[in-house]
Structure 1
Amino acid sequence: MPPRADPLTLEVVELIGAVVARHHEEYERAAAGHGLTGAQARVLSLLAREPLPMRRIAHQLKCEPSNITGIVDRLEARGLAERHPDPADRRVKLAAATEEGLRTAALLRDALDFAREPLAALDTADRTALRDLLRRMLEG
């Protein structure tokens, strides 16, 4: 049986959960404002960074590649994404954001501001420490 968590750890876990829940709520609202589902908005945000194969998108979002295919199909139908062969391996198709997709992804990113002000209130050293701690948690 794992050791019982101390009160501080439990509080931190609850706070992380509250931040994640607020982020998801805001993300869903922002996505809906653009006629997108939260999943479509998350895929579009990934594609705005770089073209990706479906399997890598699925891996990053922790879902099945077949789900991503449907999401990219819908983004493509809206003119927000497109597929093209991977120059490194012509057998692989990459999904990429179109110009309209890049604009929409930027609008989505700009709409997510619940944490922006509280984070801006922290100095650079505190934001850096928070970032580094979160990275360590995700690596572990």
Structure 2
Amino acid sequence: MLIIWLTAYNDAAGRANPDFFELYDGNIGGKTLTQGLYKWTNTVLIPASITISGSAEDVWIFQIAENLTLSSAVEITLSGGAKAENIFWQVAGEVTVGTTTNFEGIILSMTGITLNSGATLNGRMLAQTAVILDANTVVQPQ
């Protein structure tokens, strides 16, 4: 499993020529994100719900050099046919998902992933160090 995680992490991290660089200085709460390669050299914050919009064939790769933090009760909504299996969150630091937050996509973390109480995930979680769950629902994408 470590080899699969490392291969996926390195593939996502190694993608060059981002379509979006330092978008909204890393605070993407309340935004709609279209398909493409996103890159941040800092922490990404999601304090309010976001929409990921595109077709079933579109792919989103989010390269995050530090941490990814989602506030409590945030919703990641998929629209236009977007699929969780095509959304990759490559995070060099830690991922923290707030209580009762609904997360979509595949998380590849170099450090660790924490889903706080009641958070749900439609996707997968792969971390080098640890995945911490607290009364969560995790569904593998179709």
Structure with the greater alpha carbon radius of gyration: 1
> What is the TM-score when the length of structure 1 is the normalising length?
0.23
- The structure with the greater share of residues assigned to helix is 1
Q: Which has the higher contact order (CA 8 A, sep 6+)?
A: 1
